[in-house]
Structure 1
Amino acid sequence: MTSEGLGSTTRRSSSVPELVERARKGDPRAVARLISLVEDASPLLREVMSALIKHTGDAYVIGLTGSPGVGKSTTTSALVRAYRRRGRRVGVLAVDPSSPFSGGALLGDRVRMQEHATDPEVFIRSMASRGHLGGLAWATPQALRVLDAAGCDVILVETVGVGQSEVEIASLADTTVVLLAPGMGDSIQAAKAGILEIGDVYAVNKADRDGADATARELNQMLALGERRGPGDWRPPIVKTVASRSEGIDELVEALEKHRAWLEERGQLAARRHRRVCDEIETIAVTALRERIGDLHGGQRLDELAARVLAGELDPYAAADELVEGITG
């Protein structure tokens, strides 16, 4: 089921408790409406999160990242198919580039993964990055919580595909899959710039092309050169796939399940989720502070401090201290 078709009647009449109850029963319109409230930073957002929090914590979050053209959407669709065969309810957050005109997602779920659109156990939502760096939308953590509360067993987060700045997904996902493809030199270059540090599982997609074995070998060599792992530490596997034909997808799912088991055995799953919530709380707090600082641009306090710095009465750090004290005091 996609997130399209949300009627205005639903927007006007549904209270947050009603929306949450309907979402927990798998109502796609209610899920879509809650995510829209998140994306729009609605005044109801605090109430939404308060109502959802007791129903979360069960979904397994898998992030898919990699340079544009490696087949992230095709792989995501193939993974949805594989998990559905295993009886899992699946959520997909596909973060797309933003339209410079509307601020909305440029691609959207109407042009991707349509084979799953009529499956009531699959929820697909496109989210606009809205200029947020790191390949994600700022609202992604809260949107994940909505899908978690809606009973999704697995949530797949597909990032924008901006290459070297996509490492943020590692702080959000339980398991991060990095996709590469043969014949794309920029894929390995992106890996050298930091993507190798975030992958829990690597997939060389489009493995039916010439150069797939060479790409896998080069990736394996780079992983070996950069290894700082002790005995018992996780060593990311490399899986070759042809997602368009679902080849290698079962092996990819098996690698994901092994990583999840390893995380649970070592207590790392709880640790990752703890760090994720710490980051989320920090982001919310910093956003609130930035909004309060932004309000000062329309007032006199910031101008007065700037004038004193220019006059040599204050250094910028002392001025910033006074500004922070005025906001938090």
Structure 2
Amino acid sequence: MSDVRRTDAVLLLVAIVWGSSYLSAQTATAALPVLLVLFARYALSGLACLGLVASGRGPRRWTREEVRAGVPLGLTQAAVLVVETYGVAHTTAANAGLIISLTIVLTPLLDRAGRRGGLPAAFYAATGVCVLAVGLLMSGNGFHAPRLGDLLMLGAAVVRAGHVVLVGRLTVGRAIRPLHLTTVQTLVGTVLFLPAAATDLPTLVRADGATWAQLVYLALFCSVFAFLAQTWAVQRTSASRASLLLGTEPLWAVAVGIALGGEHLTALTGLGAALMLTGTYWGQAVERAHRTAGAPRPLESRPAEEDPACRTTTLTNT
């Protein structure tokens, strides 16, 4: 297998893992309280990250910049996962994966808030397509009051977009090691969720093997593995190529929800899914072209990690 194909395969695997995470989170929260699931996921991820830091080469101590960035990003990351996990517990895995993809078009909007120079009209048209798609996804079998889970996932998309913008503000141009930053975030999340989950810890200990398998999958595969694999891959390809492959995540969320979760799309939600994918890919392409036109050198010649769409310093997927 060539290096290009190997890199593409790794990025596609990351998208598949993240797409499957919504059904895993839904299954885990059906057996355990949401806050207990989040504590277990953070604690397992934190232990794995600490092990990787201890076994790695180079300095193991955290710098001040890594701690200063990691603590606030740990707080915002925890906010993202709280809203996401409560949301996926009250909607379908397919809807969760599709609605959260709104982050792709919300992030540039928030990032440019208060700055000179707006985005092209085509970007706002793409955003409008996504908004229409959300309405159709929330309609289910017909138009009715939005479901709680769908509204929570909509809120999660807004919070995640804000988190991604904050990542850029706190990390760009600074000597911050992704693994060390992620370790700080996971430890912050573990500390945050421990008090809320403390009374339910006996329930966690008594959980059956299937539930523990979901928790381990969420922590080690959907978080630690996916993060490290993405970091490795985007250093070996272009930002546009990585963004395109990682952008298939909602497709896998739908596929896993239907194939393994027994979910189904009605005519309205099927149309909503198609519009959401169209709108997010269109908006992503317009934003990238607009950013490239204003860049001093072609985007493809930059390191992939300079592209906000491929920034790899946090674990934000459910």
Short-chain TM bin: under 0.3
Structure 1 or 2, whichever has the larger Rg, is: 1
Structure with larger RCO (C-alpha < 8 A, sep 6+): 2
Higher helix share: 2
TM-score by length of 1: 0.24
TM-score by length of 2: 0.25
